[in-house]
A and B are shown apart, each in its own frame.
Chain A
Amino acid sequence: MISERSYPYATVLPVMLVVALFTVYPLLHSVYLSLHENVLTRPLDNDFVGLQNFREVVTGYYFWRSLWSTAVFAVMAVAAVTLYGLGVALLLNQVVLGSALLKVVVLLPWAIPAVISGIIWRWIFDGDYGVLNGLLLVTGIVDRYVPWMSQPFSARLCMTVAHVWKQGPLAAVFLLAALQVIPAELYDAARIDGAGRWHGFRFVTLPYLKATLALVLIYETIVAVATFDLVYVMTGGGPADATAIIGWYAYTEIFRFLNLGHGAALAIILGGLLLGLVLVYLRALRAEEA
Chain B
Amino acid sequence: MLTMTPARWLLVLSLALSLLVVGPPPAAHAQAGGVTLNLVSWSYGVEIVRDNLGKFQQRYPGVSVNYSDFSWATYHDAMVARFVSKTPTDVLYSSDHWLQEWAAAGWIIPIDESFPQVRPYLSEYSPFVREALTYKGRIYGTPYYADTFIFVYNTDHLQRAGFTAPPATLDELTKQAEAIKAKGIAEFPIVLGWGQQDPFSIESFTALVFAQRNGLLFDKDLNPVFRAPGSAAEKVVTWAADALGSKKILSPTSLQAANVDQIRALQSGAATFGIIPSYSLAVLNDPGQTQQAGKFKIGLMPGESRATVGFIRFYAISSQVPRRGKEAMTAAWNFLDYFGGKTDGEYRITKRWSLEKGLGFAQTALFADKDIRAAFGKWADVDMLQKQAQLARAKEGMTPYYGTWDVFSRAELHKAYLGQQKPVETLANMAKKWEELKAKAK
Contact = CB atoms under 8 A, between A and B. Distances in A.
Interface of A: 1-2, 7, 10-11, 13-14, 17-18, 21, 39-43, 61, 126-129, 144-145, 147, 149-152, 235-241, 244, 252, 254-258
A17 B17 contact: yes
B197 A236 contact: yes
Nearest to B433: A61
Contacts of A240: 196, 255, 411, 414-415, 417-418, 420
A41 B105 CA distance: 4
Given A147-B252, A239-B418, A41 B401 contact: yes
Contact of A10 (B7, B105, B197): B7
A150 B264 contact: no
Interface residues of B, number: 54
Nearest to A257: B404
Q: Taking each of B187, B256, B404, B411, which has the highest tally of chain A beta carbons within 10 Å of its own beta carbon? A: B256
Interface string B95-120: 00000010011100000000000000
Contacts of B81: 255
A128 B254 contact: no
Nearest to B77: A255
Nearest to A244: B411
A235 B270 CA distance: 23
Nearest to B101: A41
Contact of B5 (A2, A144, A258): A2
Contact of B411 (A10, A43, A237): A237
Given A42-B104, A150-B252, A152-B418, 11 more contacts: A2-B7, A13-B14, A127-B256, A150-B256, A235-B256, A236-B73, A238-B197, A252-B407, A256-B404, A256-B407, A257-B408
Contacts of A1: 5, 7
A241 B411 contact: yes
A240 B401 CA distance: 21
Which of B7, B187, B197, B261 neighbours the largest number of chain A CB atoms within 10 Å of its CB? B7
B340 interface: no
A147 B18 CA distance: 51
B442 to A, nearest CB: 10
A284 to B, nearest CB: 36
Contacts of B104: 41-42
A40 B80 contact: yes
Contacts of A18: 17
Contacts of B420: 152, 240
Contacts of A237: 196, 411
A147 B5 contact: no
